[in-house]
Amino acid sequence: MREIFVSDDYFFNLEVSLIMETRDKEKLLQLVKQKHSWEIQDNLSASTKRNDLLIWNVLYTREIIKNGVSKQYLHPVYNKYYKSIQLLSSLAELQDIECKMIHSYFDILTHSLEAAGHTMVNKMISYLYLHIEDKIVLSDMAAAVNLSIGYMCQCFKEALGMSIMNYNKKIKIERAQILLTGTDYSILEIATLLGFCDQSNFCKAFKQITGMSPSKYRSLDIK
Contacts of 116 (CB under 8 A, 6+ apart): none
The helix or strand, by DSSP H or E, that contains position 76, with its residue range, turns out to be: helix 75-87
Which pLDDT tens digit goes with each residue over 170-188?
A: 989 988 887 887 778 899 9
pLDDT of res. 14: 67
Tell me which of 112 and 136 has the higher pLDDT.
Answer: 136
Q: Where are the domains of the chain?
A: 7-112
- Over range 6-29, report the average pLDDT: 72
Q: How does the average pLDDT of the chain come out, rounded?
A: 84
Kindly state the DSSP code that residue 9 receives in the 8-state scheme: G
pLDDT of res. 223: 46
Q: How far is CA 64 from CA 119, 172, 214, in A?
A: 17, 22, 32
Alpha carbon distance 15, 131 (integer Å): 29
pLDDT of res. 163: 96
Q: How far is CA 8 from CA 1, 23, 49, 50, 177, in A?
A: 15, 22, 8, 11, 30
CB 134 within 8 A of CB 195: yes
Alpha carbon distance 136, 64 (integer Å): 25
* Pick from 69-78, 108-117, 136-145: least confident: 108-117
Which pLDDT tens digit goes with each residue over 65-101?
A: 776 666 655 777 788 899 999 999 999 999 999 998 8
Could you list the beta-strand ranges (E) of 44-117: none
Alpha carbon distance 55, 52 (integer Å): 5
